Amino acid sequence: MNTKDIITNHLETLNDPVVNVNTVYKEKLTALNKLALWITVKVGSMGFFLVILGWSAGWLLWNTLAPKILRFDPYPAFVLWLFISNLIQILLMPLIMVGQNLQGIHSEIRAETDFRINQKSEKEIETILLKLERQNELILEVLKKIDSKTN
């Protein structure tokens, strides 16, 4: 295969359309998958942590320090608080795992796309180097001809 064929092959592969894999991935998600991702992102935030911390602290302090007649979850067992906390955990665990699996798939797609872009860039660089090499050869030929005519 000569230089011209190599350059032509490289240039043909460079004309493939560039696609934003993030947009394509998000468009293919179902409503339930979008909900799982949204919940995964929100639950993994400091805002959610602060809400849970505030809710727990408020609940425990109220049921420990408030007048006995206003307490609704008796100290020290806090049975209702434990039940609600466990219910939240049981519901969120599988949902977060689904969201993390979806995020992992998205990461793999982005990594594969990055790899293909790197391959494409490598081909572009090879094409440029081949053209530069050919130009160097032509310049040397011209210089030799000039040198032979001047001598």
- Give me the amino acid identity at 115: F
* Residue extents of the structural domains in the chain: 3-150
- CA 143 from centroid of its chain's CA atoms: 53
Render pLDDT for 90-119 as a digit per residue (tens, 0 to 9).
999 999 999 999 999 999 888 888 888 898
Q: pTM for this one?
A: 0.68
Q: What is the pLDDT of residues 48-66, one digit of tens each?
A: 999 999 999 999 999 999 9
Amino acid at 84: I
- Cβ-defined contacts of 41-49 (< 8 Å, 24+): 41/99, 43/92, 43/96, 44/96
